């Protein structure tokens, strides 16, 4: 062996021994810190999403093996998750030791003082503070889970953007491109604005009919009895028309145009008309589709383009046991109205939803220390890469640089790169303490617009008036 | 020696359970109904509102619509279940091959939890995947989409409830039919009564107690339907199947409007009692006409 080879072998040996020692030291910490809580069972509830299921199936098991702390991890539907968590925290029954906190509900939880201050708890109890958990390693998304004092109240566990997915096999097919150009006069490519998106939707719906395919031009997350439709409009459609924060004036909480809001503005009406109009180019299940069914429709090859929550991108693009469009998925920024991108780049708005969630420990938990240990375990840098590869979520800055993530990035046609480079164009939900209350009050008008029992314009006029009435009743609205 | 004290001692556990799980929650709900209480309001505390929540009810179009929808739903499911249940009970009174097997299969829906019934029907109804939209389109050219058409959603919830609960009606009516004495029917046959006269003048009066009991059970069940419908349609499309139980759930839990939800619950209870009372007076307590 020459000198260079010898040095390399020595360096490798040192690296391996250091890594093994660190791993051993880490394991020793978890075992020691968990010693007082060994054998107890902590309970958590979360939404059944790719990220949560990974935490349940992989991370919770690893944690239990290392600590002897058992975890009962319930993953359920979005509605049920909130129902259970809020009832538990409201009643102070202490059933759950950690709960899922979606970014849009954190402000309601903080206003009700439901959550334990994680930063302060770890300072107060250094014996459970893991040396491998470093909050500074989080991306800026963690800021959404901080209180006014800058302390962390939720351990970020997923962060993703709602992207525009399209079928590369269709968009790059020479014959299809030729047909498209002949009909619309421009080269088929991911839509930059709503007009282009509509033309693509119309084209592929017709293409599906002409070729006897189960193919439509777009998905629409338009369940007419589930808040998913409301969210698609206020989070992903209205902002691309320049209507932000659900159309509420965040100083006075006005919603109507006459009082200074934008919920029933011309832009908002244009947006809702466009979105409802897309239903004629969407699969028949669209009026029953929530976020899950939209992902399922696209993965089943039933739509040429879609707005899909990014947490689904990895499995849609790479898992051939669940998806029929593996290797055929492209990602792009959602289409916007002319002029809106300039507004967003100037920091005056956002293009779509930067979604995500965290796990928090309720004050009512009976096993706070054990729950905090688990939350730190999933907040470590070491567990992030596999999680990101499996569930297309990134909460740590260095995750993007890992070769496995970069490999997955290639398979998803650049989803991770898009999130890293263009994530700044997306925004989390506005800081409403009345989030669920207002949604419940006005969502029925959107359902009625979907079924066509009222026009989109009427729906927004009624929703805006109802929003002001509800916010006045709740004591937030200022005249 | 028996004493009243011994009797009260035996009754005490039952009374305790009734007070703790029946009376106390009822009083709590009644009290909360007089307050504005939303934990996510600017003021999350209870604020006395007098009868304001009840006044709101009168002008709440969604509440009134939900009540109307619930009454329509109840009318159709109870009526259909009584008719189909009676016909099936008559069928099971006769002998035919594989009767035992058929009776067992017919009873199976009763064993399924309402939430699972809703889930199963939802899978049956998914456009593009479920068999119902597929065959309705192939055989009758019907564009079946629960998320788009209000009347389809309403009818489907009615059919689902009929499928789920008719076996209960069949079983209770079957028990009533089995217990009937043969003599009046034999006498009617001797007297030359036709089938309609036998049904109207003998069968129905004899079956009346069972019919009334079954009607009341199904009526109260139908008025508080939540889980099946919540699973199948979520109350949609729009608010076409937002029956009162579902509406109250949405107001109390996702909207956390506890005071208003409590008032709504009490008003619904009052309307249910009134409906049952009218029915009772109409069917049971009516004085016989003087001959």
Element (H, E) at B162: helix B150-178
Residue pair A97/A69 in contact (Cβ under 8 Å)? The answer is no
Does residue B53 sit at the A interface (CB-CB below 8 Å)?
Answer: no
Q: What b/e readout covers A267-293, taking b as 16+ CB neighbours within 10 angstroms?
A: ebbbbbbbbbebbebbbbbbbbbbbbb
Q: What is the pLDDT of residue A104?
A: 82
Residue pair A446/B13 in contact (Cβ under 8 Å)? The answer is no
- On the question of pLDDT at B127 being above 90, the answer is no
Helices first, then strands: H and E counts in chain B:
14, 2
Q: What's the CA gap between B208 and B274, in Å, rounded?
A: 21
Q: What is the pLDDT of residue A20?
A: 45
The two tokens of residue B274 are 């009134």
Across the interface, whether the CB atoms of B238 and A447 are under 8 A apart is answered: yes
Residue pair A312/A295 in contact (Cβ under 8 Å)? The answer is yes
Across the interface, whether the CB atoms of B149 and A111 are under 8 A apart is answered: no
Give residues with Cβ within 8 angstroms of A347, minimum separation 6.
none
Q: What is the pLDDT of residue A387?
A: 94
**B173 vs B40, higher pLDDT:** B173
Residue pair A95/A74 in contact (Cβ under 8 Å)? The answer is no
Q: What is the pLDDT of residue A105?
A: 86
Q: What is the pLDDT of residue A331?
A: 97
Q: What is the pLDDT of residue A6?
A: 52
Across the interface, whether the CB atoms of B150 and A453 are under 8 A apart is answered: yes
Burial class from Cβ neighbours inside 10 Å (0-12, 13-18, 19+) for residue B177 reads middle
Nearest CA-CA distance, residue A437 and chain B, Å: 4
Q: What is the pLDDT of residue A22?
A: 52
Q: How far are the Cα atoms of A459, B108, B203, B220, B277 from residue B176, in angstroms, in the given order?
A: 53, 21, 10, 21, 24
Chain A residue closest in CA terms to B229: A225
Does residue B253 sit at the A interface (CB-CB below 8 Å)?
Answer: yes
A261: left (phi over 0), alpha (psi -120 to 50) or beta: beta
Q: For chain A, what is the radius of gyration of the CA atoms?
A: 24
* ipTM at complex level: 0.85
DSSP, collapsed to helix, strand or coil, labels residue A217 as: coil
Q: What is the pLDDT of residue B288?
A: 58
Lowest-confidence segment of B235-249, B257-271, B273-287 by average pLDDT: B273-287
Q: Indicate the Cα dihedral angle B123, B124, B129, B131, nearest 10°.
A: 160
Give residues with Cβ within 8 angstroms of B213, minimum separation 6.
B172
Across the interface, whether the CB atoms of A225 and B38 are under 8 A apart is answered: no
A288: left (phi over 0), alpha (psi -120 to 50) or beta: alpha
Q: What's the CA gap between A252 and A268, in Å, rounded?
A: 19
DSSP class of residue B289 equals P
Q: What is the pLDDT of residue A90?
A: 86
Of A287, A288, A447, Cβ closest to residue B239 = A447
- Which residue carries 């028309």 as its tokens? A241
What percent of chain B clears pLDDT 90, i.e. is strictly above it?
Answer: 84
Nearest CA-CA distance, residue A102 and chain B, Å: 15
Does residue B66 sit at the A interface (CB-CB below 8 Å)?
Answer: no
Mind listing the domains of chain A with CATH numbers?
Answer: 27-160+355-421 (3.40.190.10), 161-353+427-473 (3.40.190.10)
Per-residue pLDDT tens digits for B1-28: 568 889 999 999 999 999 999 999 999 9
Of A86, A436, A451, Cβ closest to residue B148 = A451
Nearest CA-CA distance, residue A471 and chain B, Å: 9
What is the 3 state secondary structure string of A192-208? CCHHHHHHHHHHHHHHH
> Superfamily for B33-283?
MetI-like (1.10.3720.10)
Q: What is the pLDDT of residue A15?
A: 46
Does residue B126 sit at the A interface (CB-CB below 8 Å)?
Answer: yes
Give residues with Cβ within 8 angstroms of B222, minimum separation 6.
B73, B74, B77, B78, B161
Query: Closest Cα partner for B80 from B209, B208, B169?
Result: B169
The two tokens of residue A425 are 């164009």
Q: How far are the Cα atoms of A74, A128, B86 from residue A64, in angstroms, in the given order?
A: 15, 15, 57
Q: Which residues of B touch A439 (CB under 8 A)?
A: 254
Give residues with Cβ within 8 angstroms of B153, minimum separation 6.
B146, B147, B233, B236, B237, B240, B241
pLDDT values of chain A reduced to their tens digit, one per residue, 479 residues: 455 555 455 555 544 444 444 555 578 899 999 999 999 999 999 999 889 999 999 999 999 999 999 999 999 988 889 889 998 998 899 999 999 998 888 888 998 899 999 999 999 999 999 999 999 999 988 999 999 899 999 999 999 999 999 999 999 999 999 999 999 999 999 999 999 999 999 999 999 999 999 999 999 999 999 999 999 999 999 999 999 999 999 999 999 999 999 999 999 999 999 999 999 999 999 999 999 999 999 999 999 999 999 989 999 999 999 999 999 999 999 999 999 999 998 988 999 988 889 999 999 999 999 999 999 999 999 999 999 998 889 999 999 999 999 999 999 999 999 999 999 999 888 888 898 899 999 999 999 999 999 999 999 999 999 999 999 999 999 77
Give residues with Cβ within 8 angstroms of A97, minimum separation 6.
A42, A43, A44, A361, A362, A365, A366, A367, A368, A370, A371
Residue pair A311/A385 in contact (Cβ under 8 Å)? The answer is no
The two tokens of residue A171 are 């968009």
- What are the boundaries of each domain within chain B? 1-30, 33-283
Chain B residue closest in CA terms to A228: B234
């Amino acid at each position: 062996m020459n000198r260079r080879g010898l040095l390399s072998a020595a360096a490798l040996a040192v690296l391996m021994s250091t890594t093994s020692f660190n791993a051993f030291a880490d394991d020793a910490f978890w075992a020691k810190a968990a010693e007082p809580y060994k054998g107890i069972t902590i309970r958590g509830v979360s939404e059944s999403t790719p990220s949560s299921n990974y935490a349940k199936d992989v991370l919770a098991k690893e944690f239990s093996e290392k600590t002897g702390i058992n975890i009962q991890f319930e993953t359920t539907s979005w509605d049920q998750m909130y129902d259970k968590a809020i009832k538990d925290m409201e009643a102070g029954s202490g059933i759950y030791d950690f709960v899922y906190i979606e970014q849009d509900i954190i402000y309601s939880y903080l206003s009700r003082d439901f959550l334990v201050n994680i930063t302060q708890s770890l300072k107060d109890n250094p014996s459970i503070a893991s040396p491998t958990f470093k909050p500074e390693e989080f991306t800026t998304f963690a800021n959404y889970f901080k209180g006014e004092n800058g302390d962390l109240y939720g351990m970020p566990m997923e962060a993703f953007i709602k992207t525009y997915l399209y079928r590369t096999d269709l968009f790059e097919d020479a014959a299809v491109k030729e047909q498209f150009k002949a009909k619309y006069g421009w080269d088929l490519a991911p839509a930059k604005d709503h007009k282009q998106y509509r033309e693509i939707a119309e084209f592929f719906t017709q293409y599906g009919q002409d070729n006897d395919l189960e193919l439509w031009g777009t998905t629409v997350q338009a369940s007419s009895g589930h808040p998913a439709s409301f969210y698609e409009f206020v989070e992903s459609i209205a902002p691309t028309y320049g209507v932000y924060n659900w159309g509420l004036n965040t100083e006075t909480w006005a919603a109507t145009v006459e009082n200074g809001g934008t919920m029933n503005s011309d832009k908002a009406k244009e947006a809702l008309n466009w979105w409802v109009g897309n239903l004629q180019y969407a699969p028949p299940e669209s009026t029953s589709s929530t976020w899950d069914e939209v992902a399922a429709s696209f993965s089943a090859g039933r739509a040429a383009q879609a707005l899909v929550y990014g947490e689904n991108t990895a499995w849609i693009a790479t898992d051939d046991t669940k998806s029929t469009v593996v290797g055929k998925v492209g990602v792009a920024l959602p289409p916007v109205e002319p002029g809106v991108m300039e507004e967003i780049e100037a920091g005056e708005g956002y293009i779509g939803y930067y979604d995500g969630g965290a796990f928090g420990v309720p004050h009512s938990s009976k096993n706070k220390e054990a729950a905090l240990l688990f939350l730190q375990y999933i907040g470590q840098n070491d567990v992030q890469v596999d999680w990101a590869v499996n569930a297309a979520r990134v909460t740590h800055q260095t995750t993007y640089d890992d070769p496995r993530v970069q490999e997955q990035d290639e398979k998803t046609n650049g989803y991770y790169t898009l999130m890293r480079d263009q994530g700044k164009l997306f925004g989390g939900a506005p800081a409403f303490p009345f989030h669920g209350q207002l949604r419940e009050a006005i969502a029925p008008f959107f359902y009625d617009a979907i079924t066509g029992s009222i026009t989109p314009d009427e729906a927004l006029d009624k929703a805006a008036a109802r929003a002001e009435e509800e916010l006045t009743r709740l004591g937030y609205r200022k005249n | 020696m028996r004493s009243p004290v011994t009797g009260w001692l035996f009754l005490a556990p039952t009374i305790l359970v009734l007070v703790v799980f029946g009376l106390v929650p009822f009083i709590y709900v009644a009290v909360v109904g007089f307050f504005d209480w939303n934990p996510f309001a600017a003021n999350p505390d209870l604020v006395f509102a007098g009868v304001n929540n009840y006044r709101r009810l009168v002008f709440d179009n969604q509440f009134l619509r939900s009540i109307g929808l619930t009454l329509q739903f109840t009318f159709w499911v109870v009526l259909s279940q009584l008719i189909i249940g009676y016909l099936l009970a008559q069928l099971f009174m006769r002998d035919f091959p594989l009767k035992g097997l058929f009776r067992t299969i017919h009873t199976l829906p009763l064993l399924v939890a309402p939430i699972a019934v809703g889930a199963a029907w939802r899978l049956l109804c998914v456009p593009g995947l479920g068999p119902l939209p597929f065959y309705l389109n192939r055989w009758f050219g019907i564009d079946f989409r629960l998320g788009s058409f209000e009347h389809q959603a309403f009818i489907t919830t009615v059919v689902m409830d009929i499928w789920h609960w008719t076996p209960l009606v069949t079983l209770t009516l079957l028990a009533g039919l089995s217990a009937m004495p043969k003599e009046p029917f034999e006498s009617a046959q001797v007297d030359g009564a036709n089938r309609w006269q036998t049904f109207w003048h003998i069968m129905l009066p004899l079956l009346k107690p069972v019919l009334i009991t079954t009607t009341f059970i199904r009526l109260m069940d139908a008025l508080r339907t939540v889980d099946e419908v919540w699973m199948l349609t979520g109350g949609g499309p729009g608010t076409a199947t937002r029956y009162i139980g579902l509406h109250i759930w949405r107001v109390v839990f996702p909207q956390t409007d506890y005071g208003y939800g409590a008032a709504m619950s009490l008003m619904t209870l009052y309307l249910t009692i009134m409906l049952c009372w009218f029915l009772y007076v109409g069917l049971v307590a009516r004085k016989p006409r003087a001959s």
